Amino acid sequence: MAKQKKAPRPKAETPKGFRDYFGHEVTTRAEMLRQIAGVYHRYGFDALESSAVETVEALGKFLPDVDRPNEGVFAWQEDEGDWLALRYDLTAPLARVYAQHRNDLPTPYRRYAMGPVWRNEKPGPGRFRQFYQCDADTVGSGSVAADAEICAMLADTLEEVGIPRGDYVVRVNNRKVLNGVLEAMGLGDDQDKRDAVLRTIDKFDKVGEAGVRELLGKGRLDASGAYIDGVGLSDEQAGPVVAFLTSKGADNAATLTNLRAAIGGSAIGGEGVDELEQIADLLAAQGYGPDRIVIDPSVVRGLGYYTGPVFEAELTFEIFDEKGRKRQFGSVAGGGRYDDLVKRFTGQAVPATGVSIGVDRLLAALREKGRIEAREVGPVVVTVMDRDRMADYQAMVAELRQAGIRAEVYLGNLKNFGNQLKYADRRQSPVAVIEGGDEKDRGVVQIKDLILGAQIAETATLEEWKDRPSQFEVPRDQLVAKVREILDAHGL
């Protein structure tokens, strides 16, 4: 009888496009989510936690990565035949929630949601298939005041988490203005050409005005020397697009004037410019000037999805890329008005507007600016000198915790005391507490300042440290007070 082969051990590795998050990463994200939620709550938005799994029909649209299974979402078929999928954003579930519970919800319904989303996309550097989003939306209001409020809230949120004025700008545009430009071009109902123009507009940041002109016309050579076919428009037809993309003026008033010229006599375009003017006026009345929120026609995000105002938060400070080149950090949030999403469920138009913040990108930005410490301070470690006196050590740690101090008892191998201090060092602990039999008999404890001890160890001379001991002997009843004193001295 052949010997049965053992099953191979599974590889201990994360799937491609996913990663694990450890202590400090989790706590800093949780703190940021708490700060963002505080701003959203202050603006009157209610929390919503919807299911991470939706039916494929409820999600409605798939992502554009059609080369992936299930067109960009993680989906599977139930035994009953229904197809389910992990949510790829937090907006599609909101549309389903509102349609399902609209009779029980206030109108407008203002909600915020935070959590992971999943996209079955090709992974790459800095591009993960699970990431956090932080959304706020108003459903059931067609007023541009709702759009202006979202922009103001976005600015407040960035400042709340540590991005000061001058390091960000919220840029606002309107899909209706672009529709007016397309009308002024005389494209009529030629959807293929309209889509081609939209794709070209989306390349403005990369190829500039001259490149857009070439792509709207006969075409152009790209950086590799390959020829890219153009849309085939005449210079006269392309004129409104170029005027639209280059219409940003010295202030909002000048920009709006330029936009009115770009749309010609288009009624829908005029409606879009009027809405932008109302948004600018509403924001100015609240003290949000163009140093924080500005009308900017170059914002062309999701133009096939949004139906009115669109906005994007961009961080304007410079960072160095992986090749050492300076570049702006870029976008960390975006959103806009999407009045057709709920209609899929109800058959009736339901106006909605909202914003989504990329939490992981915001955290990365704060790290770049040095506003998040690279390492987290660990707990105070109470060492164990006598395994039979574990109750004494647990009493110590309980006193520290009751005083609001993060603390733990060492619960590892007790054979080598040096391992306990190595453990405390690895945990980045600020303080170690030591009580052996001698200390117990005398009613004292030893308290070791590990932060100061590490500084002394790194210094070539002890001269500057001779008046600053790193270990203290104090009465047992002064344990908490002395630990607090050391933590306060280090600003912890």
- In this structure, the answer to whether residues 279 and 414 fall within a common structural domain is no
Residue 147 lies in a domain: no
Q: What is the mean pLDDT of residues 287-291?
A: 93
Q: How many helices (H) and strands (E) does the chain have?
A: 17, 18
- In this structure, the answer to whether residues 238 and 282 fall within a common structural domain is yes
pLDDT of res. 295: 95
Which domain, by its residues, includes 459?
380-489
- In this structure, the answer to whether residues 297 and 351 fall within a common structural domain is no
Binding-site residues, please? 89-91, 119, 133, 137, 301, 305-306
Instruction: Supply the DSSP string of 337-390, one letter for each residue.
Output: E-TTTTHHHHSS---EEEEEEEHHHHHHHHHHTT-S-SS----EEE--S-GGGH
Residue 312 pLDDT greater than 90, yes or no? yes
pLDDT of res. 145: 97
Reported as a pLDDT band with limits 50, 70 and 90, residue 236 is confident
Which of 262, 291, 310 is at the close of a domain? 310
- In this structure, the answer to whether residues 199 and 295 fall within a common structural domain is yes
110, 351 Cβ separation under 8 angstroms: no
Residue 98 lies in a domain: yes
- In this structure, the answer to whether residues 419 and 287 fall within a common structural domain is no
Residue 5 lies in a domain: no
Q: Residue 467 belongs to a domain with what CATH number?
A: 3.40.50.800
Which of 310, 325, 350 is at the close of a domain? 310
How does pLDDT run across 365-399, given as a tens digit for each residue?
Answer: 888 777 776 567 899 999 999 989 999 999 999 99
Residue 239 lies in a domain: yes
Residue 151 lies in a domain: no
- In this structure, the answer to whether residues 245 and 345 fall within a common structural domain is no
Residue 357 pLDDT greater than 90, yes or no? yes
State how far the Cα of 23 lies from the Cα of 20, in Å rounded to an integer. Answer: 10
For 320, other C-beta atoms within 10 Å of its C-beta total: 10
377, 426 Cβ separation under 8 angstroms: no
- In this structure, the answer to whether residues 371 and 425 fall within a common structural domain is no
- In this structure, the answer to whether residues 174 and 248 fall within a common structural domain is yes
Q: What is the mean pLDDT of residues 213-231?
A: 84
- For residue 246, the one-letter residue type is T
- In this structure, the answer to whether residues 397 and 271 fall within a common structural domain is no
Which of 347, 376, 405 is at the close of a domain? 376
CA distances for 149 relative to 108, 156, 282, angstroms? 14, 10, 9
Residue 318 lies in a domain: no
Binding-site residues for L-histidine, please? 89-91, 119, 133, 137, 301, 305-306
Two structure tokens written together for 94: 């909101």
Q: How many domains does the chain have?
A: 3
- In this structure, the answer to whether residues 184 and 275 fall within a common structural domain is yes
Reported as a pLDDT band with limits 50, 70 and 90, residue 108 is very high
Residue 321 lies in a domain: no
Residue 197 lies in a domain: yes
Task: Give the dihedral of Cα atoms 115, 118, 122, 123; nearest 10 deg.
Answer: 40
Q: What is the mean pLDDT of residues 247-276?
A: 92
- In this structure, the answer to whether residues 301 and 200 fall within a common structural domain is yes
Highest mean pLDDT among 218-227, 241-250, 436-445: 436-445
Q: What angle do CA 157, 159, 165 make, to 5 degrees?
A: 135
Q: What is the mean pLDDT of residues 10-32?
A: 91
- In this structure, the answer to whether residues 136 and 170 fall within a common structural domain is no
pTM confidence score:
0.84
Q: Residue 215 belongs to a domain with what CATH number?
A: 3.30.930.10
Q: What is the mean pLDDT of residues 84-104?
A: 94
